[in-house]
Amino acid sequence: MKKIERALVVEDVASAAAWLSGLLQEVFDCEIYVAASVREGQRKLSMYQPDLVLVDLGLPDGSGIDLLRFAAQQYPECLRVVTTIYADDEHLFAALRAGVQGYLLKDEPDAKVRRALRSIADGEPPLSALVAQRMLAAFGAPPVQAAVDGGPEEEEAALSPREREVLMLIAKGMRLPEVAEMLGISRNTAAGYIKSVYRKLGVSSRAEAALKAANLGLV
């Protein structure tokens, strides 16, 4: 369980920054810093090295994606969560490729955002309900959980070429019948590949599988 002692909110709308800061204070009772641009966010990341950063995607001097990449490269121990109004695939998967660990929509009720933030301390990726539905509506195969040690390169190497294809299709939102049809295999065979992907990546949900695919650069 990760303790959140310092958090950074990168948001150019003052009312939204105040709202997120208030929720963080309620959930974590931590020190909170606020930045209103990519440049200021980079500076405050360097100054305070927070345990958690909440980043809006539309900032005055650029995209929050750039700040997320900077945080992932320079401060990998900092948990990175998007807070945005965008629920489309383009923004979602761009953020996932940038290494985020959560994606929250600003129109969610306070109670749901609080629950999502609390999940951070438990090591679970916080996802707004709508975002989770988009990621989870891929297939109906039951999950199989195990563990894979090592970084993304080792995880990708552990997958066969066919399993990487299956993971890529799952992450793009295809259902089990569509995966089978796309690859020219039976549904039972496709379900077997999906179970193998779960086992090798050590995931137990479709959202986690999509996150892994994004981190491996497959989507």
Task: Quick: pLDDT tens for 177-206.
Answer: 878 888 899 988 888 888 888 888 877 556
CA distances to 28, 71, 159, 189 from 168, in Å: 36, 25, 12, 16
Q: What is the CA radius of gyration of the chain?
A: 18
For domain 6-136, the question of CATH label 3.40.50.2300 is answered with yes
**pTM for this prediction:** 0.63
Greater pLDDT, 107 or 212: 107
> What is the topology classification, in CATH, of domain 152-215?
Arc Repressor Mutant, subunit A (1.10.10)
Q: Where in the sequence of the chain do the CATH 3.40.50.2300 domains occur? A: 6-136
Question: Pick from 142, 150, 125: which is nearest to 207 by CA?
Answer: 125
Please state, rounded to an integer, the average pLDDT across all residues of the chain.
Answer: 81
Give the pLDDT band of residue 11 (cuts 50, 70, 90).
Answer: very high
| pLDDT confidence of residue 165 | 86
Q: Where in the sequence of the chain do the CATH 1.10.10.10 domains occur? A: 152-215
| pLDDT confidence of residue 130 | 59
Task: Quick: pLDDT tens for 118-157.
Answer: 887 666 666 665 565 555 443 333 333 333 444 544 555 5
Residue 216: pLDDT above 60? yes
Q: Are 200 and 148 in contact (CB under 8 A)?
A: yes
Greater pLDDT, 86 or 10: 10
Q: Name, in order, each residue with C-beta under 8 angstroms of 88's C-beta and a sequence gap of 6 or more.
A: none
